[in-house]
Structure 1
Amino acid sequence: MSDHLTIVDHPLVQHKLSHMRRADTSTSDFRRLLREISLLLAYEVTRSLPMTTERIDTPLCPMDAPVIEGKKLALISILRAGNGLMDGILELIPSARVGFVGLYRDEETLKPVQYYCKLPFGLEDRLTIVVDPMLATGNSSAAALDLVKEQGARDIRFLCLLAAPEGVARMKETHPDVPVVTASLDERLNEKGYIVPGLGDAGDRMFGTK
């Protein structure tokens, strides 16, 4: 664990992740577990949000109550699998502004190809959380962060379910200012660029297209 990488080792996170890794976990159970685990990961990725106080009245007396300071944060999903993480976080932070970056990986070159990008306004004044379940080669994630920074985002965090050492190294090389939060740092990538031991293709398992 370092300033750049945080591994969330909470027992509930690890237990749910183990069930997601099982090859015989159904599509519906996979989606449910991803939503549940995203809520737990959201606690970690939002841990250092800026706070201020607001004068309120409780049933007994007035008080200066802690509230989150600044503009509503932005959630950016890397399509399509990022939506599984984003949906859970939105349950916790329903006022967040939402954006999408569409990238797919060329299976021969392993390079990202962009097909869609729609981001919220005012990213320069918002905490921006970019989500994608898998940080494999890091190429798509780095490309998505390039787009987010081009739109003015400065305070960015990257949230994923699984990371490979190659992806973490790529992110540290290209975006050393962006902390990475994940549930597991797995062993390696295989020759096709999949995380090992991993859990397969997160998008296919979420949407039943495997």
Structure 2
Amino acid sequence: MVTAVTHPLVQHKVSLMRDVHTGVKEFRELAAEVSMLLAYEAMRDLDLSPTHLTTPIQEGDFPMLSGKKLALVAILRAGLVMTDGILNLVPAAKVGHIGLYRDPQTLQPVAYYNKLPADIAERRVFLTDPMLATGGSASAAIQFLKDAGAQTIKLMCILAAPEGIAVIERDHPDVEIVVAAVDEKLNDHGYIVPGLGDAGDRIYGTK
């Protein structure tokens, strides 16, 4: 299932990210802001339970988060800025990292680093990567999470291509994809069109 967040603030900020004239600092800040806004939607179904509290006026039962704790897992390197933004909302979440890069010839994912919370199987996992292009890296990362015991996974991306969505829906039909926009297609080099360029390069200024 794909959930596209069409809120005007999200769409405005994504358009600023697309602009070739947007600099590194602003691009990075926008990516973190969009990630926070996406998290509101991705975390809409978190469990709540009544907790007894005393306000300055009276006692009462009020909703607070319950159920499984959260884990944010970034696909390195571009996913880091997304987890950093989301941590502003859920600072108690544990953070993991999966290092993958796409071979420029085969376009297939190659793993080079993996570090996850030890209790990943007991947490709801939100996997972050700004771009869902071919889908290979995201699918490999999801499989690694499942092999580590993760049972509830959502994939959060800023942009997605139909080709990448199709790969995730084929390989992991149980994983919901939350995106800001679904673009037209991939070009011959595996980049999203119209896209916003290489998210990692624009976040870190490594063009």
TM bucket by the smaller chain?
over 0.9
Q: Describe how 1:132-151 pairs up with structure 2 within 5 A.
A: 132-151=129-148
For the residue of structure 2 that corresponds to 1:65, the secondary structure is strand
Q: Describe how 1:127-206 pairs up with structure 2 within 5 A.
A: 127-206=124-203
8 A Cα contact 1:70 1:126, kept in partner: no
For the residue of structure 2 that corresponds to 1:169, the secondary structure is helix
Structure 1 residue 36: Cα displacement: 1.1
For the residue of structure 1 that corresponds to 2:32, the secondary structure is helix
The one-letter amino acid paired with 2:106 is T
2:42 paired with 1:48: no
- Mark the runs of 5 or more structure 2 residues left unpaired by the alignment: none
Say which of 14, 17, 21 aligns to 1:24. 21
The one-letter amino acid paired with 1:133 is P
Provide the TM-score with structure 1 as the length reference. 0.97
Q: Determine the C-alpha separation between the residues in 1 that align with 2:68 and 2:177.
A: 22
1:64 corresponding residue in structure 2: 61
Q: Determine the C-alpha separation between the residues in 1 that align with 2:137 and 2:72.
A: 17
Q: Determine the C-alpha separation between the residues in 1 that align with 2:89 and 2:32.
A: 11
Structure 1 residue 84: Cα displacement: 1.1
RMSD over aligned CA atoms reads 0.7
Q: Tell me the matched-pair count.
A: 207
For the residue of structure 2 that corresponds to 1:92, the secondary structure is coil
The one-letter amino acid paired with 1:37 is V
Say which of 36, 39, 45 aligns to 2:36. 39
Q: Determine the C-alpha separation between the residues in 1 that align with 2:48 and 2:29.
A: 31
Structure 1 residue 22: Cα displacement: 0.5
8 A Cα contact 1:124 1:152, kept in partner: yes
Q: Determine the C-alpha separation between the residues in 2 that align with 1:183 and 1:80.
A: 19
For the residue of structure 1 that corresponds to 2:88, the secondary structure is helix
Provide the TM-score with structure 2 as the length reference. 0.98
Q: Relative to structure 2, which stretch is displaced further, 56-65 or 5-14?
A: 56-65
Q: Determine the C-alpha separation between the residues in 1 that align with 2:144 and 2:26.
A: 33
Structure 1 residue 71: Cα displacement: 3.7
8 A Cα contact 1:74 1:97, kept in partner: yes
Q: Determine the C-alpha separation between the residues in 1 that align with 2:201 and 2:65.
A: 36
2:102 corresponding residue in structure 1: 105
1:75 corresponding residue in structure 2: 72
For the residue of structure 2 that corresponds to 1:77, the secondary structure is strand
Q: Deviations over 1:58-105 (max 9, x none)?
A: 111111110111242000000000011111000111000100000000
Q: Deviations over 1:131-183 (max 9, x none)?
A: 00000000000000011001111111000000000000000000000000000
2:112 paired with 1:120: no
Q: Determine the C-alpha separation between the residues in 2 that align with 1:31 and 1:154.
A: 31
Fraction of identical pairs, as percent = 54
Say which of 92, 116, 134 aligns to 1:95. 92
Q: Determine the C-alpha separation between the residues in 2 that align with 1:93 and 1:76.
A: 13
